[in-house]
Amino acid sequence: MKTKPKNSIRYPDLELDPMILRETATAVQKLPPSELVRSVEQGLPLAELEDLRRDLDLPMDRLAPRLGLSKATLHRRRIEGRLSSDESDKVVRFARLYAKALEILGTEQNARLWLSTSQFGLGGAVPLDFAQTEVGAREVEDLLTRIDYTVYS
């Protein structure tokens, strides 16, 4: 029997197997693209940002600036209960990276450490900092793929 994991992105008609999808981030990869696009366009619930914060094990004051959220904007979003489309897109981007790091590096601790530590393959940049743009996120994904295929550079 499939049940929704506690940390899954909230889609009423989508059932996800918690044994396969250990984290919110992994659930993001399993959503049908049309569902994900629609949800991002409408703005994700603020709870998704909190789930990402918990997945990455970062304090909100370190995560929010990486997503382009000032303290004032974060305060407004808490009142509204929903992120903007652009902010939602960034949350999904970071969740996608966390899921890929988790898949390749094997443990939550390894994924978190790798994403928060400077990487030679990114010219010494920290992956979460490098991923503030979509282009940077693609480079982080590419590096993770090279690590997976032991073509680390």
Q: How much is the pLDDT for 152?
A: 60
Q: How much is the pLDDT for 150?
A: 85
Q: pTM of the predicted model, to two decimals? A: 0.79
Q: How much is the pLDDT for 23?
A: 45
What are the boundaries of each domain within the chain?
Answer: 24-148
Q: How much is the pLDDT for 100?
A: 95
Please count the CA atoms within 13 angstroms of the CA of 4 that sit on its side-chain side.
13
Q: 122: buried, middle or exposed (CB in 10 Å: 19+, 13-18, 0-12)?
A: middle
Here the tokens at position 76 are 């407004």
Q: How much is the pLDDT for 3?
A: 38
* Residue ranges for the chain with pLDDT beneath 50: 1-23, 26
